[in-house]
Structure 1
Amino acid sequence: MMTSLFSTFDPMTKLLQSNWIIMMMTTVILPKWYWTKKSRMNMMMKMMEKKLMNEFKLMTHQKEILIMVMSIFMFIMISNMMGLIPYVFTSTSHLVVSMSIALPSWIMITIYSWKNFTNEMFKHMLPKGTPSAISPMMIMIETTGNLIRPISLAVRLTANMIAGHLLMTLLGNTSSIKMLVFIMPIQMTLTAFETAISMIQAYVFATLVTLYSSEVP
């Protein structure tokens, strides 16, 4: 029996004190697809990757960013979907994991852009046509918005993962057999909804990183 509603996100268990190792499962699953024979699952993943790559190419012209964004998308999507399996730890429900993905990506893009395109980045701080009276305020707003980008990326992913799992935990805590007749259809629907959310959140994360990189000239 859980002592707290949030104990479902606790990575520590009695049998295994390092459930964080589940994060390494994505590095085991992904390379395996390269060596396997053609299958429907493999073809579906290739079609999805090709479609996403074509969409991300419309946002940025840098090939390095495309490779990085596709890797981030696959890692987050598999981590989110593996968290739906019973007794599997959801790593993306922890802010430290989401931040460890968002912060390096943002720092890399920021350092590269400011180092190589300093003048152009300064132009982004003040939109064209801004009145002189509110120019200092606009610069502060743009600077603040740029600084909180990694926080918004990480918090958005973590909050969505926590919200769905909390609903599933609340519905799964009932012990009444009569209530199971009504809860089971809801639980199944919520599980399908969470599967879609897992893919959508990975797509949103990857898209936002691509949009941030598109500001680099």
Structure 2
Amino acid sequence: MNLSDIRRDYQLKQLDPKEVDNDPIRQFEIWMNEALDAKTSDPTAMTLATASAEGKPSARIVLLKYFSHDGFFFFTNYESQKGTELEENDQAALLFFWPELERQVRVEGHVLKASPELSDSYFASRPLESQLSAAISPQSKEVKDRSSLEDLWSKKQQELGDEKIERPDFWGGYRLIPDKIEFWQGRANRLHDRVLYHRDGENWKLARLAP
């Protein structure tokens, strides 16, 4: 297979800066609802890119759980690689890709930990099996094999019995507070539509970017 021969022409929609909402969070809500309505695959999945203190980047897929004017919220192990990097360097980026709609959204900004109350609330809403996995997993650390993880999981389950599992201190939420949000709509002949919102004090400025 010659990868350089793979082509896709984008024909579905267009994106005009004159027609978008002045509020990028509201515009994101519109697009997220359209992604949900279109039953796109994993519409809340997003690439989270972080970097170490030395600037070495890494990226992985996480799930968006909330968004508002306070930021984009996700949850993870604070002692994982991404948690360690966010402790060293609070700058991060998100990327949503909805191929069924030929759309991307790029978000850049800085990250803060979510409140303990929000982390507790979200953790309590998770299935018990997911709570157990969060509690026993030394995320991003080397483990002997899968059976050792399964043994930890079963042991924790037996220890708890009918007791409620509390959120571990090392697990919780983050919120990315955006400085830039770009909406990308695929167009024919690679003349894609790109609309960038960037912060200007308390407001946002809009610009069209070249594809």
Fold-level match, TM-score > 0.5? no
TM-score under structure 2 normalisation? 0.26
Structure richer in helix, relative to its length: 1
TM-score under structure 1 normalisation? 0.25
- With CA pairs under 8 Å and 6+ residues apart, which has the higher RCO, 1 or 2? 1
